[in-house]
Structure 1
Amino acid sequence: IEPTREVDNVGQILFDPIISVYYATIKLFSEMGLNVIVDTVIDNDKRFNDYLDLLFDHPTFFVGVLCSKEELTRREQIRGDREIGLANSQFDYIYSYDEYDLEVNTEELSPAECTDKILSYIKSDQDYSAFKNLSKREISVS
């Protein structure tokens, strides 16, 4: 079923307050000095810009979680809780960032190995600079 503009607008109206609370919670916890893990897919320029605005003045460890398009498609199919084709449709945008503080490849490393690599980086006291080096993206109006 193809969504209508009205459904899109209703969904946007209902979704925006939830996203706003989500962003505000991330910012609040960070301002309280808590370490926050934001596991998300940045799938469009507006969302990226929102995160950049929200987190620019906070230490942000930007981790690229990498995987081939073929493997993402395979995982999407076996999970059964995703719209088939979503991974393929988002792939080019999601992997359009060329700078991360750290990259982990989930095809090459187990979840435990990815975790160890991330924790090792955190414990090394290296600066988190990749996110601050990124620029806002121009949002096209369609």
Structure 2
Amino acid sequence: MPPPPGQIILINGASSAGKTTLCRALRDALPDTLAGPFLHFSLDFFMFDADVLPRTPQGRIREWSRIRPQVFGGFYRCLPALLGAGNNLVVDLILENSAQWDQLRELLAPYDVTLVGLHCPVEELERREAARGDRRPGDARRDAQTVHTFVPYDLELDCRDPVLHNVERVVSGWTARAVSGGRGKETE
């Protein structure tokens, strides 16, 4: 008998908002479902954490502007494959425009999706971006101007709140949705 489809919690926010930290904490805090535990999945795995993308000698992604749409599209298509195989996912991502959201919404329509917006003031994003040193200056500011303008969230969080507080809010909101039957398919 095949496993039940997984559930997915999407954490959307600007670069350096703390999405990865939140997702890792959620992965460890969320209760197992019939499909099993939650896995953390991120586009950062392709871009920063693995030797997946071709790099120049200076460490930049080779031909990024050309391959970027394909990489994003492939990442989005990975999600329903993982869910359909019975994996629960906590995913951090940066939805840059409504076309990306439309594509993702269509791909995830058959699944139970919880959408979480992680908000962070621009000044804090820029401070974090500079402290990290592995992000292009200005990306966080650019993201902050758009990422929250077209996504209908189930829950919105503030990055300045303690991570454990935000984890508790997501777990509580996700649990309440599971008890009430969740949303299932996006209809808008």
Q: What letter is aligned with 2:167?
A: T
Instruction: Provide the TM-score with structure 2 as the length reference.
Output: 0.57
Q: Residues 104 and 114 of structure 1 are in contact (CA less than 8 Å); yes or no, is this contact kept in structure 2?
A: yes
- Number of residue pairs the alignment of both structures matches: 124
Residue among 170, 173, 185 paired with 1:118? 170
Q: Residues 101 and 128 of structure 1 are in contact (CA less than 8 Å); yes or no, is this contact kept in structure 2?
A: no
Structure whose residues are more often helix by fraction: 1
1:70 matched to which residue of 2?
123
Residue segments in structure 1 that go unaligned for 5+ positions in a row? 1-9, 135-142
Matches within 5 A, 1:103-114: 103-107=156-160, 109-114=161-166
Q: Classify the secondary structure of the residue corresponding to 1:62.
A: strand
Instruction: Provide the TM-score with structure 1 as the length reference.
Output: 0.73
Q: Distance in 1 between matches of 2:117 and 2:68?
A: 26
How big is the shift at 1:112? Answer: 1.7
Q: Distance in 2 between matches of 1:38 and 1:83?
A: 22
- Cα RMSD of the aligned pairs, angstroms, is 2.4
Q: Distance in 2 between matches of 1:43 and 1:128?
A: 26
How big is the shift at 1:62? Answer: 0.3
Residue segments in structure 2 that go unaligned for 5+ positions in a row? 1-62
2:186 matched to which residue of 1?
132
Q: Residues 27 and 54 of structure 1 are in contact (CA less than 8 Å); yes or no, is this contact kept in structure 2?
A: yes
Structure whose residues are more often strand by fraction: 2
Residue among 152, 168, 172 paired with 1:99? 152
Q: Which has the higher contact order (CA 8 A, sep 6+)?
A: 2
How big is the shift at 1:127? Answer: 5.3
Q: Distance in 2 between matches of 1:92 and 1:16?
A: 21
Calculate percent identity across the aligned residue pairs.
23
